[in-house]
Amino acid sequence: MTLMRSRSSRRARFVAGALLLALSTVGAGLLLGKGKTSQAPTGSRTPEGAPPLIPVGDRRFRGPDGLTVEVPQHWRMDPGSSQNLWGTVRPRDSVSRLPQIGVGSVSTNGLERADAIDTVEEILNEILPELTAESAEVAGYRLTTGSGEIAGTNVKQVRMLGVVQDRVIVVWGLFDAEMQGADDLVRQVIESFDVA
């Protein structure tokens, strides 16, 4: 009985963290037309409540829990809005909403990898019901792709989820429907994750 209560408590904490990640995504404007897009340059002051992004290399940054991530060449990392959504990757000189790639993480709170990823995926799918979402396992990651119309713009999403140590890593890209190479960009970001 105690074990069941403990498992239920861990799951509740995990779901709460995953919901915070989703809400942070909305607040940061990752969802087209559903928030304000940050125009802060790399290295600017981090929004209150967000972890500091510390440059540790030419294009590599350290976020929470010692996790590091590298942005693609000619792209920049803007500070995120919370402990869960801690960065947004955009083309270096872009001031547009698209394309952009949200980078976040949430503690598994002891859940098994598959259960944690399934839970995060379910919550994130509910955030953008306008977009189709088809998932597959690719090289140890959960890859979700889809498309649809948001605020009058044809958008495609490419999202990858994985686990590094005890955290579910979320890399969620939104792109113009015609943009080529979106899958490669998102994969490049998630595969660059490491522990400092």
> What residue spans define the domains of the chain?
2-195
Q: What is the pLDDT of residue 26?
A: 66
Q: What is the pLDDT of residue 175?
A: 96
- Tens digit of each residue's pLDDT (9 = 90 or more) over 132-151: 999 999 989 999 999 999 88
Alpha-carbon distance of 57 to 60, in angstroms, equals 5
- Tens digit of each residue's pLDDT (9 = 90 or more) over 164-185: 988 999 999 999 999 999 999 9
- Tens digit of each residue's pLDDT (9 = 90 or more) over 49-105: 666 789 998 899 998 878 999 999 999 999 888 878 889 999 999 988 899 999 999
Structure letter (DSSP) for residue 180: S
Nearest by Cα to 167 from 116, 102, 125:
116
CA angle 175, 60, 167 (to 5 degrees): 75
What would the CATH number be for the domain defined by 2-195? 3.40.1000.10
Asked whether residue 41 carries a pLDDT value surpassing 50, the answer given is no
Task: Give the global pTM.
Answer: 0.84
